[in-house]
């Protein structure tokens, strides 16, 4: 039985119609399949060797026993570790298409059995084929199960969100998730805690008039967030109640993205640091660091940055001095072009600059308004944030890293990336604001 928050989120979701979370809910896959894909006669189970052993074989057996014809596509059948590259979406798309051609006249449904990568490549493949799909999550590692779009690396090497519908049905069996490696839950928990500074970024940008507000998406993510991340010890022990709340929190983040058709409700500057690492093919000890693990480190960093923002009296802001940091569009474009010059995505910074640019007088008005309303803005931010020391404690409890060095980066690289994040997306964040006020470098240095 879905919780009240999940039911409300489903009512606003554009694509997903059912979401089952709990112990043993894998057994419900056949009935959910029949209910939400009534004309389908065949399932194409997409998995990898590990997720096939964890749940795929059981899903196939249950569907077959219910009279559904089952085909299977195993990604990297030799067991090689793989990541979210678009080429895997192409592989899955062609595999599904081949099954459809061989089973002429049958209505088929892809069934993703896995965590973030398996879900995303199946999501994109199903989207390109124009068919709905079902996903069974095998680890509490991502919020992408329920989100629109698939976060994949393009053939050019840039991490991007490919537009495609979310799954029609989501099944999250906690018994299955308990069998996943502990780092996967740590990654998911860190990614869920990122909604704290990401929410602060959204508040700040909205108060500055730099972004749109979407009330239902905000409440979908934030209303239950502090409860969902409130018991890291219980999550580490994989206890049913805290694990259920945590997994619901992950799903709600994705549902908010469906509602708004944007990742704004679930990510802020902390995600931009991670995207920069991914775009550089960052590895540590020969392995790609999981997305949520990266995000957790920069969640702590951003919470420390926000503590400095809260401690500063912006009602005394020297607006004229700040305007000395404002630059005309052509100059900003030149800087943006330089950030990614020589990379596989040279236009990224220029696009971000153009999307966020406002002229000098508009900037003056924005800052004067912010200055006048700082006490109220500060109160909103303070209510949103959790002390950085507590964020750090919770990360450590679930086994997630807290420093750049633990993920193979460094203080120097993080300080350099704090400036580069501004040029990653059209998303206005605290770091954009601090660049304008002249506080970015000092606040970033103090946060490390």
Indicate if the pLDDT at residue 384 is higher than 70.
yes
Decide if 270 contacts 298 (C-beta within 8 A). Answer: yes
Eight-state DSSP code of residue 290: P
Q: What is the pLDDT of residues 363-374, one digit of tens each?
A: 999 999 999 999
Angle at 142 between CA 191 and CA 34, to 5 degrees: 150
Confidence at residue 156, expressed as pLDDT on a 0 to 100 scale: 74
Confidence at residue 2, expressed as pLDDT on a 0 to 100 scale: 64
Confidence at residue 157, expressed as pLDDT on a 0 to 100 scale: 72
**Would you call 291 exposed, middle or buried from its count of C-beta atoms within 10 A (0-12, 13-18, 19+)?**
buried
Confidence at residue 155, expressed as pLDDT on a 0 to 100 scale: 83
Distance between CA atoms of 405 and 383, rounded to whole angstroms? 31
Cβ neighbour number for residue 359 with a 10 Å cutoff: 11
Backbone angles phi, psi at 18, to 5 degrees: -145, 145
Confidence at residue 222, expressed as pLDDT on a 0 to 100 scale: 97
Looking only at the bridges linking them, the beta strands covering 108-114 and 69-74 are unpaired
Indicate if the pLDDT at residue 224 is higher than 60.
yes
Q: What is the pLDDT of residues 129-182, one digit of tens each?
A: 999 999 999 999 988 899 988 988 888 776 778 889 999 999 999 999 999 999
Indicate if the pLDDT at residue 74 is higher than 70.
yes
> In sequence order, which residues have a C-beta less than 8 Å from that of residue 437 and are 6 or more positions away?
317, 322, 325
Confidence at residue 351, expressed as pLDDT on a 0 to 100 scale: 96
**Of 307, 263, 296, 268, which is closest to residue 409 (Cα–Cα)?**
296
Eight-state DSSP code of residue 42: E
For the chain, how far is it from start to end, CA to CA, in angstroms? 44
Decide if 20 contacts 6 (C-beta within 8 A). Answer: no
Number of H helices, E strands in the chain: 24, 10
Confidence at residue 81, expressed as pLDDT on a 0 to 100 scale: 86
Q: How far is CA 195 from the centre of its chain?
A: 9
Confidence at residue 288, expressed as pLDDT on a 0 to 100 scale: 87
Cβ neighbour number for residue 313 with a 10 Å cutoff: 10
**Of 267, 293, 320, which is closest to residue 395 (Cα–Cα)?**
293
Confidence at residue 321, expressed as pLDDT on a 0 to 100 scale: 98
Helix (H, G, I), strand (E, B) or coil at 182: helix
Decide if 112 contacts 123 (C-beta within 8 A). Answer: yes
> From the CA atom positions of the chain, what is the Rg in Å?
22
Supply 273's token pair: 């640091």
Domains of the chain: 4-179 (3.40.50.1970), 207-214+262-446 (no CATH)
Distance between CA atoms of 336 and 352, rounded to whole angstroms? 8
Supply 63's token pair: 């569907």
Distance between CA atoms of 448 and 442, rounded to whole angstroms? 10
Q: What is the pTM of this model?
A: 0.94
**Of 415, 422, 420, 417, which is closest to residue 436 (Cα–Cα)?**
422
Decide if 433 contacts 208 (C-beta within 8 A). Answer: yes
Q: What is the pLDDT of residues 242-260, one digit of tens each?
A: 999 999 999 999 999 999 9
Supply 209's token pair: 């008039």
Confidence at residue 106, expressed as pLDDT on a 0 to 100 scale: 78
Distance between CA atoms of 18 and 31, rounded to whole angstroms? 12
The sign one gets for the Cα dihedral 143, 146, 151, 152 is positive
Decide if 19 contacts 253 (C-beta within 8 A). Answer: no
The residue-averaged pLDDT of 223-233 equals 97
Average pLDDT of the chain, as a whole number:
95
Q: What is the pLDDT of residues 95-128, one digit of tens each?
A: 999 998 887 777 999 999 999 999 999 999 999 9
Half-sphere exposure of 49 (CA within 13 A, CB side): 7
Continuous segment of H or E residues that includes residue 320 = helix 319-323
Decide if 114 contacts 54 (C-beta within 8 A). Answer: no
**Of 164, 121, 114, 110, which is closest to residue 136 (Cα–Cα)?**
114
Indicate if the pLDDT at residue 66 is higher than 70.
yes
């Amino acid at each position: 039985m879905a919780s009240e928050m999940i039911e409300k989120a489903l009512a606003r979701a554009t694509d997903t119609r059912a979401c089952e979370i709990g112990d043993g809910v894998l057994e419900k896959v056949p009935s959910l399949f029949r209910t939400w894909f009534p004309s389908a006669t065949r399932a194409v189970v997409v998995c990898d060797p590990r997720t096939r052993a964890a749940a795929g074989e059981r899903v196939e057996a249950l569907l077959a026993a219910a009279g559904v014809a089952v085909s299977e596509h195993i990604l990297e059948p030799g067991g090689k570790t793989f990541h979210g590259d678009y080429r895997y979406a192409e592989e899955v798309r062609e595999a599904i298409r081949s099954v459809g051609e061989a089973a002429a006249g049958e209505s088929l449904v892809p069934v993703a059995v896995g965590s973030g990568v398996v879900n995303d490549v199946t999501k994109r493949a199903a989207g390109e084929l124009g068919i709905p799909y079902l996903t069974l999550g095998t680890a509490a590692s991502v919020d992408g199960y329920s989100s629109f779009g698939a976060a994949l690396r393009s053939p050019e090497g840039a991490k991007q969100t490919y537009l495609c519908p979310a799954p029609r049905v989501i099944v999250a069996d906690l018994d299955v998730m308990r069998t996943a490696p502990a780092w996967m839950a740590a990654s998911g928990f860190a990614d869920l805690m990122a909604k704290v500074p990401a929410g602060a970024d959204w508040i700040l940008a909205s108060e500055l008039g730099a972004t749109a507000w979407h009330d239902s998406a905000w409440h979908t993510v934030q209303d239950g967030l502090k409860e969902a991340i409130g018991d890291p010890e219980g999550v580490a022990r994989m206890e049913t109640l805290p694990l259920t709340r945590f997994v619901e929190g992950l799903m709600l983040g994705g549902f908010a993205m469906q509602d708004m058709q944007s990742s704004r409700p679930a990510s802020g500057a902390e995600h931009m640091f991670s995207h920069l690492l991914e775009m550089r093919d960052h590895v540590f000890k020969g392995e790609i660091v999981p997305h949520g693990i990266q995000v957790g480190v920069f969640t702590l960093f951003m919470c420390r940055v926000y503590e400095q923002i809260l401690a500063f009296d912006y009602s005394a802001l020297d607006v004229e001095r700040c305007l000395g940091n404002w630059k005309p569009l052509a100059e900003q474009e030149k800087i943006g072009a330089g950030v990614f010059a020589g990379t596989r995505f040279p236009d990224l910074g220029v696009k971000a600059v153009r999307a966020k640019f406002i002229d000098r007088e508009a900037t003056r008005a924005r800052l004067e308004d912010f200055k006048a309303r700082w006490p109220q803005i500060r109160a909103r931010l303070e209510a949103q944030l959790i002390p950085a020391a507590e964020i750090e404690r919770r990360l450590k409890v679930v086994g997630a890293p807290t420093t750049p060095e633990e993920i193979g980066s460094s203080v120097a690289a993080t300080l350099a990336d704090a400036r580069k994040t501004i040029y990653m997306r059209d998303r206005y964040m605290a770091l954009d604001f601090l660049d304008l006020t002249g506080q970015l470098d000092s606040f970033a240095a103090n946060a490390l």
